[in-house]
Structure 1
Amino acid sequence: MRMHCAPLHSFSGAIVGVQGILEDFTANKKAQDQLKTYYHVIEHSPVAVLISDNKGQIEYINPKYVELTGYTPDDVIGNNVSMLYARDQASAEYYQELLHEVQTGNVWRREAFNVRKNGEGYWENISVSPVLDENGQIYHFVVLKEDITKRREESEKAKYLAYHDSLTGLSNRSLFYDRLMIAVANATRYQSQMAVMFLDLDGFKEINDTYGHDTGDDVLKAVAEQLKTVMRKGDTVARMGGDEFTLIVPEFEDIRDVELVAEKILKSLRQPLTEKALLITPSIGIAFYPQHGINHESLLSHADKAMYQAKKQGKNNYQIYEPDQETTNPDRHQYNT
């Protein structure tokens, strides 16, 4: 309880007694203790917290908010939250969407890209909640932010590795099949031509056996870079595994255009590709849609057979699939989608 005491005086001014007021403020004391606890929790929260009034004027930010954004209390308190979203038109539109949602009493949540005070970009998980008084009117907004940059980067990396070869960075078999089916579907729809190329490195096993797998990996990465240099932006270059690569040429005017691509590949690999000045040659098989197949399975199979025919012709050359040359290597595996 709280007690206030004062002397009681007579008319002559003498103290004749004491008068006092006793007040039970248990509820107020509990509320104060709760407020101290809540303040302590927010101050040490691992989540960035910003509190504004119902007009968006910033009243409080916790230390984690300063750490996350770089903005100090002196930078933001007393200013409108719009200052944090007015760096460009896109951010301004983003803020208007947020404002409309919370002013109707809804909680707004999103993963978004933001920029710290120093200009560094980061990904955040953000939620903005309206706080209602006893009459159901909004009188504050609470903003919670969490840095999810690392999680986003790990997610993007996992997504990338699911569709790309970890050694060369090229499309892997899964992505190749997806793009091949799309290319076939587009060629069918627009009655156009497309080509599939199957490339195998000649004598790659001997390089691995002689110089080791690290050198073999260097050769594969160098070949991948050469293929990316030769192919057009809209083409697909993939590593199927080992020393086997596949390529998709989705559009061309004349078959000769694809042959020129094969010749460029042969020429680009006629140079030392690693520090050991190793030379590598490819054998390339080519199959065309619709001449050699109308689905992705037959096109890839026929390009594979044409590649083996290039091996039979002395390697370091390309061959276009010919139905009357159905000789295949019984040791070569079949590719299934």
Structure 2
Amino acid sequence: MIRKKILLYLLVFLCIEGGLFTLLFWGKQRAEQRYVESVLIHHQGEYDANLASFARLARFTAQEIFMRPEVVAIFAQAAKANGQERDRLRQAMYTRLLPSYDNLTQEYFRQVHYHFADGTSFLRMHLPERFADDLFASRPSVRIANTEKRQVEGFEVGRDYHAFRHIFPLQKEGNHLGTVEVSEPFFVISKALRQIYREEYFLILKESLLQESLTPQGLKNYVASSLVAGYLQENADLAGASGGYLDSDLIARINKPLRAKISGKLEAGKPFAQSVLLDGQDYLVIFLPVVEIGGQVAGFLVSYGGDLPLTSLRHGYLLAQLLVTLLLVLLFALHLRDTRKIDGQLGFQRQLLEGIPLPICLKDRAGIMLSCNQAFAEMSRLPREKIIGQLNASLIDPQVAEQQQALDKKVIDSGKKQQEEVHISYPDGSSRDLLVVKAPFVDEDGRVAGIIGSSVDITGQKKYAAELQQAHAELDQIFNTAANGMRVVDLSDRVIRANQTFCALVGLTEQEVVGRKCYETFSGPACQTERCPRARIMQGALRLEVEAVKYLPSGRKLDCLVTSTPYYGANGQLIGIIEDFKDITHYKELEQRLREIAITDELTGLFNRRGFLTLAEKQLGNGLRAEHDMFLIFADLDNMKEINDTLGHETGDLALATAAAILRTTFRQADILARLGGDEFAVFISCKPGTDSEQAIVSRLEANIAQENRDGKRPFPVAISFGVVRFNEGETLGQLMIRADVLMYDSKLRSKLSKNEERAKQG
């Protein structure tokens, strides 16, 4: 009968054990899948964000350097020229752009390439000797940008290399001239990604695509991928890709089991991740498709990284399996206690106890040890024969024994399971922390016959808890001593945490910040709008980094670099955002100062040629809308060479400064005054109709020049030739400058002839 009952219990045990193990395994698989999906989303977001950052940098660089008006002017002339004249313009353009190009290619870009509207290559900055080839057949991006006359950006394989390309249309006076291309290689992208994730990055490209697009010489720049057949990698990527986080031998070992798992997934052309278990360590390999401008998948961005969370999930599953097994074994033991024959029951209990790795003991109501397993004997550091028949007081420290007797009494009085933590010290000075669990067992009449006790060594867990508490303290210290102001805002815009740097930034205490709405203590134009970081993150944004104007409670304005990221709870639910504020007011002021320096002539304090062209063009547009009269004056010092040759260049600089002072005296502060270069000056005037004229301007200038010469404070006479023209409807600024320049040179010629006649009369 007892044997049949044992077999029945064993069958039930195995069924329950199998069901629970199945549920645990399913839960583990689901947890791993959700985790991998979240990692994949984060990697895709960072990859897209990096591409967007480089696109912004390319647009800024193209506008500020490679699409400047003087560069476009040379390109426009070259579009109309041919032969030697076109070669001369190509060389002039190359010489002008080379310093900027060299600086950019050291860190960011691979090449800059100009193409005419018909797809003909005009200038490759990286290969200036190669030009005049037709790119429409091999470069869809160039064809689209020129035929549709729009900006084109994306990944593309060229004749010799692949790159992330940015192609911008070039126009002059409304006419499409062609395009300029700025591109960056993959190893620049991977370098930026490694600053976010400490992983190894590679770009594998389809061999069929490369063979179709690359020249035989270009194919020599690629080698077969060590990961999967049918894909190639660029030599330059392999040379500059490693960050030293995983060595090449380890990556080769990861690739070996990875190959068989990914071939079908690569054909699908979608993002995916694959984990590899190697030497007890999980590695996660991410595959993100790289799509060409034409829409086809060209290859994959592959990242390798060690992954501790996956290892923790697996270990957690194993621990859960162990605990379930222990629980079922304990339940199994308790169900057998109603066996009529105590000897048979105790025999079974001994076998059961020996099969459990946890220390287990049995005591009667008086606290005398009836039985224990080997694990309990090892924990007590006594042989089993010296344990059986003894009380706690004779086995362990009296204080601990008294604590255990009190726990035994609770179990017997309540008839329920009890537990508590116990610290045990050994004679050799070592000690352990245990979680002691005790439960009653009853006789056949249902009365409490004794106690079954088990213990779990929680020394490591307590140590981990202490370390975790220390880590929290350290994180709090790092949070409060961070160089930038940081705050955490919930989904109702209420501040739930702020560091000391943020409180110092806004001039409030932590109590005055926490609990209030975020826009009450540090507001800005985007607050309570759709542009608010909290609103954008709730709509799906993963990370935002913007420059924003913020206002302190005092009303003072700050320019800040604001970084906003989602703040998730323990269950992965979005509960708010984390905002990081860096005060960049000083940098913005410095940037404004540098901008002013870039358009100002250092000697005279007037605008330089760049400043004049920029502001005069803007003033011309404003004047046309306001229907103002507009005048342009070109002026030139007549005796500049004579002053430099006879009185020295310092006096020449004084003459230029004197001319600038006369112009400031003659014209209004609203007029645009500039030194175009050397001894040439220009003034652009916009005024209400009828308030000024060419003759009035000439009279004022001549009067102020005469007054300067009458004062006689300079070791030279001031002689200025100038031409004054009125703007005619339909003219451009360039045409106006040509007319003024012609009149000025006519004036200079007349002045020179007049001086020669006077000298002839005197001679």
TM-score, normalised by the number of residues in structure 2: 0.34
Q: Map 1:166-245; keep pairs closer than 5 Å.
A: 166-178=602-614, 195-201=631-637, 203=639, 210=647, 213=650, 220-221=656-657, 223-224=659-660, 226-228=662-664, 230-232=666-668, 235-245=671-681
The answer for the alignment partner of 1:8 in structure 2 is 405
Q: Deviations over 1:174-224 (max 9, x none)?
A: 2334556678899999999854322123555677765973x7656645643
Corresponding residue for residue 581 of structure 2: 145
Q: Structure 1 residue 125: deviation in Å?
A: 0.3
Q: Which residue of 2 aligns with 1:306?
A: 746
Q: How far off is 1:112 after superposition? A: 1.8
Instruction: Give the equivalent residue in structure 1 for 2:537.
Output: 102
Deviations 1:135-159 (A, max 9, x none): 4432232110112123222322222
1:118-146: CA deviation from partner (whole Å, max 9, x where unpaired): 44433110122221225443223211011
1:82 deviates by 1.7
Distance 1:255 1:112, change over 3 A: closer
Match of 1:327 in 2: none
Alignment of 1:52-71 (within 5 A): 52-71=489-508
User: Aligned ranges for residues 248-259 of structure 1 at < 5 Å?
Assistant: 248-249=684-685, 257-259=693-695
In the alignment, the residues of structure 1 paired with residue 698 and residue 475 of structure 2 have an alpha-carbon distance, to the nearest angstrom, of 70
Could you tell me whether the CA contact under 8 Å between 2:721 and 2:744 is conserved in 1? no
Q: Does structure 1 residue 115 correspond to structure 2 residue 512?
A: no
**8 Å CA contact retained: 1:49, 1:144:** yes
Number of equivalences: 298
Amino acid at match of 1:8: Q
1:318 is matched with which residue?
none
The alpha-carbon distance between structure 1 residues 53 and 184, as it changes in their structure 2 partners (threshold 3 A), is closer
Query: Which stretches in structure 2 are left out of the alignment for 5+ residues?
Result: 1-398, 410-418, 422-433, 436-457, 756-763
Note the residue ranges of structure 1 that are not aligned, 5 or more in a row. Answer: 12-18, 316-337
Structure 2 residue matching 1:8: 3-state secondary structure:
helix
Match of 1:133 among 569, 590, 600: 569
CA distance 1:63–1:197, shift in 2 (3 Å):
same
Query: 1:63-97: CA deviations, max 9, x gaps?
Result: 322343323313312212120355xxxx3654433
Distance 1:8 1:20 in 2: 12
Residues 123 and 227 of structure 1: CA distance in aligned 2, closer, same or farther (over 3 Å)? same
The 8 Å contact of residues 57 and 79 in structure 1, kept in 2 or not, is answered as yes
**Aligned match of 2:468 in 8, 31, 38?**
31
Using the TM superposition, name which of 124-133 and 29-38 deviates more.
29-38
Counterpart of 1:236, as a letter, is I
Please give the alpha-carbon distance, in whole angstroms, between the structure 2 residues aligned to 1:253 and 1:33.
77
Q: Which runs of 4+ in 1 moved over 6 A?
A: 181-193, 205-209
- Structure 1 equivalent of residue 482 of structure 2: 45
Further displaced range: 33-42 or 132-141: 132-141
Distance (Å, rounded) in 2 between the aligned partners of 1:37 and 1:78: 24
Larger RCO (CA within 8 A; separation ≥ 6): 1
Question: 2:672, 2:685 within 8 Å by CA — same for their partners in 1?
Answer: yes
Which residue does the alignment assign to 2:515? 78
Aligned partners of 2:621, 2:488: CA distance in 1, in Å?
54
Give the distance between the partners of 1:232 and 1:212, measured in 2 at CA.
Answer: 29
Partners of 1:199 and 1:307 within 8 A in 2:
no
- CA positional deviation for 1:233: 6.4
For 1:52 and 1:110, the matched residues in 2 are separated by 17
Aligned partners of 1:42 and 1:62 also within 8 Å: yes
Give the equivalent residue in structure 1 for 2:303.
none
Change (3 A) 1:187 1:30: closer
Between 1:253-262 and 1:151-160, the stretch displaced more is 253-262
Partner of 1:319: none
State whether residues 270 and 281 of structure 1, in contact with CA within 8 Å, keep that contact through their aligned partners in structure 2.
no
Identical amino acids, percent of aligned pairs: 21
Query: By percentage of residues, which structure has more helix?
Result: 2
Cα distance between partner residues in 1 of 2:619 and 2:553? 46
